Structure 1
Amino acid sequence: MASKKIRRRDFIQQIVQERGGVSVGALAEMLGVSTQTIRRDLDILCDGENLRRAHGRIELAESRLNTPFDQRAGTNLRGKRSVSELVASMIPNGANVFLSIGSTPLEVAKALSGHQELTVITNNLSAAMALSNEISNRILLPGGELRLPDRDFIGEEATDFFDRFRAEFAIFGVAGVAHDGGLLEFHPAEVRVRMKMQQHAAKSILVIDSSKFGRIAPALGGNISDVDVVACDRPPAPEFSDLADSLGEAITYSQGER
């Protein structure tokens, strides 16, 4: 296959992963080719389990879509809140904090609502709003398109935004943790932003509930062993015991013993 076709199809897959879906016309305009060329590309790209056609668009297949945010936010709420309270106790007043997208980081933001003089650098609009009642806080947000219904910012503008700051703490969640400790997301753009936070923070804190161990998502970036603190609600299922044990003192549980 010609390298030009390969690059074009790789670009299409990247755009769909980041946006969840995009129209044939928009792709043709981005790439400077005809809609017929894009449709021929889609004949190849949709011949698998990752992408599908839908009314003049190409979208992620149902199996690759993340659970709607409001549904995720209500799942294991007790566990997420206990993790969030644990993490909030690690953050002093006046700290500089990166805070990522996701339902558990949002609970961390709520748990931090009693803190003062925080500088919060986040792409999570809901987290920013949760911390905005304390007027001594400073809250920094990237520009760009707000992704709905998650109410967050991802993409190159958000990645560049986090490259301009340094923080004492980076607090982030992930979509899933693989058996080898790989950290998984549903979009490559989410990986890039998360890794920028981790790169530019003195201490990285992963906040998850135990259901994330073994949860599958397509975009890989980083490993749980590279995180300074893993805050989880309870020990994972037995098949992940060796992975959890390998983390030693780095993993802590809010609802159970190490």
Structure 2
Amino acid sequence: MNRYERLNALLEILGERGRIEVDEVSERLHVSGATIRRDLDHLAEQRLLTRTHGGAVSHAVAYDLPLRYKTVRHAEEKQRIARAAAEMVWPGAVVGLNGGTTTTEVARTLVARSEGDAVITVVTNALNIASELSVRPQVKLVVTGGVAQAKSYELMSPLAERILSELSLDITFLGVDAIDPVAGASAHHEGEAAINRLLAGRAGKVVVVTDSSKIGTRAFASICTTPEIDVLITDTGVGEDDVGRFRERGVEVVRV
């Protein structure tokens, strides 16, 4: 396990438990206590946790992780979800993408599947997605503008809202912080939710892409209601009860 993987593992454990001890984690990850202490010191410097004698405690980890520390969570599931999403896009389509690790996988898969001179248009408020797609000749890239958020790489502000209000999208893929059959899709940050709501509202089809860990949960700010979602693409970990409740509200559920 390299350092990057250890840091992600530590944050995952801390997010689940709220507290970790050096001795316990070093045994679980099969590395020395000295290595774990250095890793915890590094994460504390980035304000991702608070160091204690013998370990660390949560510092809003579940809600405040920078995107770079989320990339390996449920990686295989996200790749399968991305492949299913990319199959819904046709040459010449105008595609909306918000920020997030799953939508980033969707963007990469779209580029990999593009054939010949066929061009798709991608509209996004995510700087990391824009950076990856800007050098791809088969993609016409539109970036919304706005003020960059350090943790999600997303652009927010009335500047983004003004641009999106003048565009029409064929299909929008939304990554979400939470989705519930009754409450709909939501995000932890109200500014992100507002931009995501516009991306959904300007699209002919709204597709939520998320792993099953976020299903049946709710976050602070609403993005859209359940009936406004056309398709939910998730992994096979979603429960049958949740699948039935989404379908009752008119959402097509695709499990991969």
Normalising by structure 1, what TM-score?
A: 0.68
How much has 1:135 moved relative to structure 2?
A: 1.1
Show the counterpart of 2:227: 225
Answering whether residue 104 of structure 2 is matched by residue 102 of structure 1, we say no
Alignment of 1:88-127 (within 5 A): 88-114=86-112, 115=114, 116-127=118-129
Show the counterpart of 1:47: none
Identity of aligned residues (%): 23
The structure 2 residue matched to 1:201, chosen from 174, 179, 203, is 203
- The answer to which of 75-84 and 200-209 deviates more is 200-209
Q: Deviations over 1:85-120 (max 9, x none)?
A: 011011012211111111111110010113241111
What secondary structure sits across from 1:101 in the alignment? coil
Q: Deviations over 1:35-86 (max 9, x none)?
A: xxxxxxxxxxxxxxxxxxxxxxxxxx93883333122221001001100001
Show the counterpart of 1:158: 160
Alignment of 1:1-258 (within 5 A): 62=60, 65-114=63-112, 115=114, 116-178=118-180, 180-237=182-239, 240-247=242-249, 250-254=252-256
How much has 1:235 moved relative to structure 2?
A: 4.6
Letter in structure 2 aligned against 1:84: A
Contact map agreement 1:163 1:200 (CA 8 A) in 2:
yes
How much has 1:248 moved relative to structure 2?
A: 6.1
Q: 1:130 to 1:235 in 2, by over 3 A?
A: same
Q: Deviations over 1:209-253 (max 9, x none)?
A: 101113342112322332111111125246635424425661111
Distance in 1, Cα, partners of 2:221 & 2:83: 29
Q: 1:249 to 1:195 in 2, by over 3 A?
A: closer
Contact map agreement 1:97 1:167 (CA 8 A) in 2:
yes
What secondary structure sits across from 2:70 in the alignment? helix
Letter in structure 2 aligned against 1:192: A
Contact map agreement 1:170 1:201 (CA 8 A) in 2:
yes
Q: 1:170 to 1:236 in 2, by over 3 A?
A: same
Distance in 2, Cα, partners of 1:180 & 1:224: 7
Distance in 1, Cα, partners of 2:205 & 2:247: 21
Distance in 2, Cα, partners of 1:108 & 1:247: 25
Distance in 1, Cα, partners of 2:246 & 2:237: 8
Q: 1:201 to 1:238 in 2, by over 3 A?
A: closer
* Alignment root-mean-square deviation, CA: 2.2
Distance in 1, Cα, partners of 2:232 & 2:185: 12
